[in-house]
Amino acid sequence: MKLEGKVALVTGSSQGIGQAIAARLAQEGADIVIDYRSHREGAEETLAKVEATGRSGFIVKADLGVVSEVRQLIESGIQHFGKLDILVNNAGIEKNADFWSVSEADYDAVLNVNLKGVFFVTQTFVQHLIETKRTGKIINISSVHEELPFPHFTSYCASKGGVKMMTRNLAIELGPFGITINSVAPGAIETPINTKLLNDPEKLDALLKNIPLGRLGKPQDVASVVAFLASSDADYVTGTTFFVDGGLLWNYQEQ
């Protein structure tokens, strides 16, 4: 067990990739702060998975797009477990629209969760580590779309591109404190965010043709890389992105 004695906060951990990360970090020995926005039953399901490993979980309701709730989330976690060691910025949303018809409300919704939320949850976590003079690990769940264009999802791409530069910048600024920060960038993973795609055989087939490993990823594929980055095996790794995409990002072939 690589994370014994550690406490991890996983944002948006009531389903999908976040739920798998919470369960996997618990398997490695960490206690888990489970954050959800509206899906309480999902958070309870995550808690059951965490407890099945013998570790403790603590559920907190917080909207990552609202800075006061973000601060409250970190404070509740610290109050409950006494400290935090690992932050996984997983919560994220996307909105599909032609660029010329994106509404301000949709733009704000995406950027508030995917970038502003990540920024301020990370800031509050770092303040806690500096105040308590401890090292820690930050892992951002980014996307292949921090590199790869995704037409009709420009606000999403802008948010993930922002996370990429945040990761690089903070690696330098936080390195002297022994705090590492890395991103894990999934390709196409089987989660509720992809429900439409999963139910469209034609689109799904076209996508699979672009994935050299020939399958969609599973939330566990992402969680295992997060577990590595959260552990001391990755102590000398900071400021970089790990793509978990079956080879999708760099796939180019001439027919």
Q: Is 36 a catalytic residue?
A: no
Q: How close are the terminal C-alpha atoms of the chain, in Å?
A: 46
Instruction: Rule CB under 6 A: choose which of 10, 47, 86, 141 binds ligand NAD.
Output: 141
Question: What DSSP line would sit under 75-128, residue for residue?
Answer: HHHHHHHS---EEEE---------GGG--HHHHHHHHIIIIIIHHHHHHHHHHH
- Pairwise CA distance, residues 246 & 185, whole Å: 11
Binding residues for ligand NAD, total number by CB under 6 A: 28
Q: Which is nearer to ligand NAD, 151 or 176 (CB)?
A: 151
- Neighbouring CB atoms inside 10 A of 104's CB total 7
Stretch that binds ligand NAD, among 63-71, 124-132, 167-175, 225-233 (CB under 6 A): 63-71
Q: Which is nearer to ligand NAD, 178 or 220 (CB)?
A: 220
Stretch that binds ligand NAD, among 15-23, 126-134, 146-154, 230-238 (CB under 6 A): 15-23
CA-closest candidate to residue 164, choices 148, 186, 146: 146
CA-closest candidate to residue 229, choices 159, 168, 140, 146: 140
Instruction: Rule CB under 6 A: choose which of 39, 71, 80, 218 binds ligand NAD.
Output: 39
Catalytic annotation, pick one of 36, 156, 236, 252: 156
Stretch that binds ligand NAD, among 2-10, 46-54, 89-97, 123-131 (CB under 6 A): 89-97
Pairing of strands 179-186, 7-10: unpaired
CB 181 within 8 A of CB 170: yes
CA-closest candidate to residue 132, choices 2, 4, 7, 3: 7
Position 194 contacts ligand NAD (CB under 6 A): yes
Instruction: Rule CB under 6 A: choose which of 27, 76, 90, 167 binds ligand NAD.
Output: 90
Instruction: Rule CB under 6 A: choose which of 3, 10, 15, 238 binds ligand NAD.
Output: 15
Position 191 contacts ligand NAD (CB under 6 A): yes
Residues that bind ligand NAD (CB under 6 A): 11-12, 14-18, 35-37, 39, 63-65, 90-93, 113, 141, 143, 186, 188-189, 191-194
**Active site residue ranges:** 156
